[in-house]
Chain A
Amino acid sequence: MKSIRAVALTVFVSGLAMAVQAQTSTDQLTNEIRSLRQQMEEQRKLFEERIRQLEAKLDKIEGVEARATGETAPDDLAAALTRLRGDSVVAAPGRTLPEGLKTAVRSMNPDTSVIVDTFYHYDDSEEGIAHMLEEVAGFGHAHGDDDHGHGHSHLEEGFNLRHLELHLSGAIDPYFRGWAIGAISEEGAEIEEAVIQTSSLPWGLQVQGGKFFSNFGRINAQHSHEWDFADQPLIYKLTLGDHGLNEKGVQASWLAPLPFQALVGVEAFHGDNEMVSQYHGEEEFSEHGGPRLWVGWLKVGPNLPEKHGLQLGLFGARGIHQEEHDEITGDTPGTPPDGETDHWLDGHTRFWGADVVYKYDSGKEYGVGDVTVQGEYFRRRKELDLVDHTIAGAPIGNDRIDDQDGYYVQATYGFLPRWRCGVRWEQVGLTNDTRMPDGAREDHDDSSRTSAMVEFLPSEFSRLRLQGSYGDYATEDGKEDAWQVFVQWTMSLGIHGAHTF
């Protein structure tokens, strides 16, 4: 019995010991497993990080390779833009240059354009309007049209080519720009303008020299193709001639440092315009060298809101003036009937006046609703001494004074897309006195003219115009009236600089 109890106790104790040992082992195992798991987790994280780094390196290498082979990474903006730009500027196949280079090379050439201005003219006067205008009372005795034979002057009934204008313009260097305008007509070619102009003077100054249209007023500086009507206003035709005041000389102008545009200009001209200052004829008395004609003008442009533009001007001029008259007279008192008389006059011409232009830009397309209103007043006074006369007893030393004025007012309106109409009212000779050297006073009548035009502009570069005018002229033989009709076609080819205001 004692031995069974001993065995049982031993078995029990060892069983307990084993159980405890087993429990300890399980704990150990669990702990081990737990720590193993942790280690595995850490390893995994480490390996993932390494893989990520390797992947990034691989991407970079691939990217470089791709760039070397011309492919671009899909998210590189600079590369995408370069590709787009390359696609958009395509060199034409063959031996031509890429577009950008071509433009650069061509831009060194002067801008060239050709302007053709031609019209059909009809008038119902007996001798032709050109003759009639030469005989307008007070303004008559216009010399030179026959002598020089300019294409401008002969307003013939039928087809007229006013002239072909060849414009060349460009920058000469950083300091100057220049342009030349040749007027080519059937009678020959002449230089209308040849100018060098400064482009970088300080303080708002500008100087130009050469042959050019004087910048007084509005109409004078505009070329005939820019006019709103087919012909120039009466007052300018009668006092300055067909060319207007187009002279050789220099011009200096200054844009004053005011908050609005105030432009002051002075011009010194040789004085070639025969109606203003040129000397014709044999040398009977001392000749005055140039500059014989001085012109000054002021243009003011207030700052107006968006759609409106306005410019007002004042001008004045003084020139040395000589005339030689060869006349065959029968009527002048104290002269031999049907004889020839020569007389010479020497003195000055002055002119002065004002101009205004208003432009309204409606902002609509093709010029619809645009309005311009423009007017000028011009007054001239010739004070000439009678220097010599072939008639004995003529009042040498006395004055001959010619005092005339005139004005015009015109307006245009865009009434349809690409269509414009205009009206012009003008008068000359409101002041129209001539005081002869022998004391006789002649007070002449005024003349007037109304014009209306309608034009179609297929584009900015071509124009078809129909114009009609009715004029009532006071001539030596009394009042005469005449109708005129123009059908004018103007076009420009090539690069023509933008027009000023």
Chain B
Amino acid sequence: MSSETRISTSRARRFVSRLGILVPCICLPLRAERLNIVTTTSDLASIAAAVAGDAAVVTSIATGVQDPHFLQAKPSYIMKARNADLWIRIGMELEIGWEQPIIDGARNPGIRVGTSGHLDASGNVIRLEVPTQRVTREMGDVHPSGNPHYWLDPLNGRIMAQNVCERLCKLMPGQASVFRDNLRAFVGALDTRMFGPVLVEKLGGDRAWALLLNGQLDRQFTEAGSAGSAGGWYGAMRAHRGKGIATYHRSWNYLTSRFGLSIAAELEPKPGIPPSATHLAGVVKEVKNGGVKVILIEPFYSRKSADFVASRTGATAVVAANSVGGSPEASDYLSLIDLIVTRLSEAL
């Protein structure tokens, strides 16, 4: 090569390398082969990642550290939604304060409500507190379709995973067998953590759940003489069935209902209204009378009122995340339930 050609080549190379810095900024985002899933909460992201595996990139708008009722439709959220192929929400009006401006602002017609790129994970979950009469705002921050914190019931975790799998199979039919395998693995892991490995091996996950729902799981144990093999979350909480706990917000009902606990008192006088001195005095009485030992509270709430009640009653304020990422130990959905069950059973 002559020196002239060499110079022009290097100049060209420099030009191209400078252009290379610009090109990624101005190119339309290429449709990646991996599905781009954006979820509203981190629990959905954990479940979606487990089912989708390597076929998708999953990000979440809420990170578990904030109260998911109140988020701003920030520019960075809008940009996340812009490139999403599938948007998954908890639904039941949990995200009603911020979902629509993000979807509208993102100008992504593929993820609008009702399209195949929009999944409401609450479709067929087991719902609690569905109103049977007219709901008004007099009742506080009440949701007209029921209590939206349904992901805290492991049974609903199973159903959410199935819903995600169905939708993924519809969007990427070629990978359907992979998704179903991942679903089976996730459900198996969940069942094992719920009932312990011995019970799951003996009965199978589906059967164990069915017996639990029909109130016949315990009978199985005593008949088979295998009372000691109850493990997992179910085993850990068996001893505490029937006990009452106090909570800050009406966010734990699904968990308590699944494990046979009851809610003895709520620190919020009505959902969304902060605790008042008069109300807390009443709570102290209820906690004392009910022999309640635990006040369960999320990390993003102030501990002042919980500590107040605890100091006057001998109950313990137990801080546990109600969403993946809310505490460092709650790194995925199964660890989240692990954390809550562990903290509860230690304190009860």
Which A residues fall within an 8 A CB radius of B? 72, 74-77, 79-81, 84-85, 88-90, 92, 99, 103, 177, 199-202, 204-206, 255, 257-261, 301-304, 306, 309-311, 359, 361, 363-368, 417-418, 459-461, 497-501
Contact = CB atoms under 8 A, between A and B. Distances in A.
A204 B82 contact: yes
Contact of B100 (A76, A260, A498): A498
Interface stretch (B5-13, B24-32, B282-290, B309-317): B24-32
Contacts of A204: 82, 107
Contacts of B272: 459-460
Interface stretch (B45-53, B69-77, B174-182, B340-348): B69-77
Given A199-B112, A259-B79, A361-B66, A74 B210 contact: yes
A500 B73 contact: yes
Contact of B126 (A85, A367, A501): A85
Interface of B: 25-29, 63, 65-67, 70-76, 78-79, 82, 96-101, 104-107, 109, 112, 124, 126-128, 130-133, 137, 140-141, 144-146, 159, 203, 206-207, 209-211, 213-214, 216, 272-274, 300-302
A74 B107 contact: no
Given A205-B107, A257-B29, A359-B74, 13 more contacts: A74-B211, A74-B214, A74-B216, A77-B213, A85-B127, A103-B144, A199-B112, A201-B109, A257-B26, A261-B75, A364-B301, A459-B141, A501-B75
10 contacts: A75-B210, A88-B146, A199-B104, A255-B78, A309-B75, A459-B137, A459-B272, A498-B97, A499-B101, A501-B105
A165 B276 CA distance: 33
A365 B207 contact: no
A301 B79 CA distance: 9
Contacts of A261: 75-76, 78-79
Contact of B132 (A76, A92, A200, A461): A92
A301 B75 contact: yes
A99 B300 contact: no
A470 B214 CA distance: 70
Contacts of B300: 363-365
A206 B105 CA distance: 10
For the complex of A and B, the 6 pairs showing the least CB-CB separation, nearest first, are A301-B75, A261-B75, A200-B109, A309-B74, A80-B213, A77-B210
A303 B75 contact: yes
Contact of A77 (B73, B82, B128, B207): B207
Contacts of B78: 255, 261, 301
B213 A359 contact: no
Nearest to B73: A501
Contacts of B112: 199-200
A304 to B, nearest CB: 6
A75 B211 contact: yes
B306 to A, nearest CB: 12
B274 A365 contact: yes
A205 B130 CA distance: 40
B94 to A, nearest CB: 12
Contacts of A366: 274
Contacts of B71: 361
Contacts of A88: 126-128, 130, 146
B214 A302 contact: no
Contacts of A460: 97, 141, 272
Given A77-B209, A85-B124, A255 B106 contact: yes
A304 B72 CA distance: 13
Contacts of B206: 75, 77
B82 to A, nearest CB: 7
Contacts of A257: 26-29
B109 A363 contact: no
A461 B70 CA distance: 13
B110 to A, nearest CB: 9
Nearest to B29: A257
Contact of B75 (A72, A202, A311, A499): A311
A310 B210 CA distance: 51
A314 to B, nearest CB: 15
A119 B99 CA distance: 32
B109 A103 contact: no
B220 to A, nearest CB: 9
B25 A258 contact: yes
B248 to A, nearest CB: 9
A461 B96 contact: no
Given A303-B79, A364-B300, A501 B109 contact: no
Nearest to A88: B127
Contacts of A80: 209-210, 213-214
A81 B206 CA distance: 11
B132 A90 contact: yes
Contacts of B141: 459-460
Contact of A92 (B72, B133, B301, B302): B133
A463 to B, nearest CB: 14
A194 B26 CA distance: 35
A413 to B, nearest CB: 16
Contact of B73 (A76, A200, A418, A498): A498
B136 to A, nearest CB: 10
A261 B101 CA distance: 14
A108 B209 CA distance: 38
Nearest to A304: B76
A309 B130 contact: no
Contacts of A303: 75-76, 79
A260 B101 CA distance: 17
From A88, A89, A501, residue with most partner B Cβ within 10 Å: A501
